Each structure stands twice: as C-alpha cells, then as structure tokens.
Structure 1
Amino acid sequence: MKMSHEEYIEKQRKRAAEVASGMLDGSIHYLEGAIKLSSLRFEVGLPENDSDFLAFTCVSSEIDHLPIGAPRQYWSKEALERHEPEMQQSIEWAKEVSLSECKSIVARFNA
C-alpha cells in the first residue's frame, strides 16, 4: 500500500519525537540525535526556518568534524581518545543551545 504525503510527514514527525525523546532520556547519543534531527528538518512538513529544527542544524554544522555515528568505526583509537574532550564539551554546548528545542519537538509531535 502506498503512503500518502500526509502519512509520510506524520511518520517523520513521530520519528523526530522518538529521536528527541531518546536524546532526553540518554538512549540516543545527544550529538547523533542532533544530526538526525537536522536531517529530518525537511521531512516533517514545516517551514525550513522552524526554530526547533534550526537549532539542530546549527549544532550539526558545528560538530561535523567529530567522530560521531557510523563513521566513528573508521577512526583510530588514538584519534578517538584525542577528540574525546572536545566531544564532551560539544555535548554540553549542544545541550545548552538546543535542549529546550529538543523538549519542544517531543511536545509537538509525540502523539
């Protein structure tokens, strides 16, 4: 059965709420979640300047040089160790600039 555009948007909104919820409860790495929410920005049927999703686009652009997600497996142990302090600082910074937006996405789309 083919999915309608509205059904697709609803599915992506639920996915955004799941990711944001996981970021809040710690089951999804905060920076990985930020990257995912940034990528969902154009899939949830909102204006591209939606402030909740723009926060994660900002975070994503600031951390794109770090070993996050699937590419992490290709980094050497030494490089991972060298970047760990910056990773921790980036998590703290990302939460400072996007935690309220994360909560907002959960509230908006968690049906």
Structure 2
Amino acid sequence: MDVKDQEKIIDICQSLVNDDINFIEGCRLLVSLRNQLNLENDSDFLPFVGVASETDDYPELSIRENFSSDYLKRIDGEVSDYIALARPSIVDACSALISKYKIL
C-alpha cells in the first residue's frame, strides 16, 4: 500500500467522523478500498463490511432518482434509525484506521 492509499483511507474516515460524507456511501467506499488493496484480513475494516452488507438493499445516492418518493421516504426512516445505532462503532473503527494508517 502506498501513501496515496493511506491518505484515501484516512480522508474517508475523517469525512465519516465529521459527517462530511454520506454514512453508507463512506462505509461502502472503505469496503471497496479494502478489496482493491487486498486488506480482506484486516479486522479493522469489519465494521464497514457489516454496514455495507446490512445496507446493500438501500440504493446508492447516484440512483435514488430511479425510485419512487414513497419508497425513499420509507427507507430513509430505516436508514436514519440504522445510522443512529451503527455510528458509534463506525466512529471507533474510523479512529482505529486513522491511527493505523496515519503518515508520520
């Protein structure tokens, strides 16, 4: 892994902690990076894998316009409830990754 990859991980984690990125999209991005960088055995990524797995039926932001407003209203409530439960563990996981990959 090179410095740019470390910076990407840190940037996404900081954006998640600061609520500057959509929660689910941020977790999905970290899972994608994990797979691209062959970090499947890094247990610090497991909370993000869990979020991605548990929310895989929620549409990505880029395709939301393809869904009815009634459906989006219903799942937005579910998503808000889920995020409220998952956010503390994701913030902890972000802190762990930031500490692990910060560039000195």
TM-score between the two structures when normalised by the length of structure 1: 0.80
Corresponding residue pairs, total: 103
Give how far 1:29 is off. 1.2
Larger CA Rg, structure 1 vs 2: 1
CA distance in 1 between partners of 2:60 and 2:89 (Å): 19
Structure 1 residues without counterparts, runs of 5 or longer: 1-5
Structure 2 residues without counterparts, runs of 5 or longer: none
Give how far 1:82 is off. 1.2
CA distance in 2 between partners of 1:109 and 1:76 (Å): 41
Asked which structure has the greater RCO (Cα within 8 Å, sep 6+), the reply is 2
Query: Does 1:40 find its partner at 2:29?
Result: no
CA displacement, residues 15-60 of structure 1 (integer Å, 9 cap, x when unaligned): 11101100111111111101111111133464x2212112111110
Residue 3 of structure 1 is matched in structure 2 by none
CA distance in 1 between partners of 2:72 and 2:62 (Å): 13
TM-score between the two structures when normalised by the length of structure 2: 0.85
Query: Does 1:22 find its partner at 2:15?
Result: yes
Provide the aligned C-alpha RMSD in A.
1.8
Query: Does 1:106 find its partner at 2:98?
Result: yes
